[in-house]
Amino acid sequence: MVVMGRIIGSYGVNGWVKIFPFTEFVDGLIVYPIWWLGNGDGAWREVKVIKGRAHTDKILVSLLDQCADRAAAMQLKNLLIAIPRDKLPILSNDGADGYYWEDLIGLKVINLKSDELGCVVGIISSSNDILQVHSLRKGEQEVLIPFINRVIVKVDIEARQIIVDWESDY
For the segment 13-65, what is each residue's pLDDT rounded down to a tens digit? 888 899 988 887 888 888 899 999 998 787 899 998 888 888 888 888 887 56
Q: Give the rounded percent of residues in the chain with a pLDDT score beyond 70.
A: 92
Burial string for 10-21 (b: 16+ CB within 10 Å, else e) reads bbeeebbbbbbb
CA nearest to 11, candidates 56, 45, 48, 43? 56
CA nearest to 35, candidates 63, 77, 68? 63
Dihedral angle computed from the Cα positions of residues 17, 22, 28 and 34, in that order, rounded to the nearest 10 degrees? -60
pTM: 0.72
How high is the pLDDT of residue 102?
82
Q: Which of 15-24, 52-61, 75-84, 124-133 has the highest mean pLDDT?
A: 75-84
Q: With 0-12 CB in 10 A as exposed, 13-18 as middle and 19+ as buried, what is 34?
A: exposed
How high is the pLDDT of residue 127?
74
| Domain pair 2-87 / 101-164, same fold | no
For the segment 99-110, what is each residue's pLDDT rounded down to a tens digit? 888 889 899 999
Q: What is the mean pLDDT of the chain?
A: 86
CATH superfamily of 2-87: RimM (2.40.30.60)
Residue ranges of the alpha helices (H) in 1-129?
Answer: 70-74, 101-104
- Write down the domain spans for the chain: 2-87, 101-164
Q: Which numeric CATH code is attached to 101-164?
A: 2.30.30.240
How high is the pLDDT of residue 145?
93
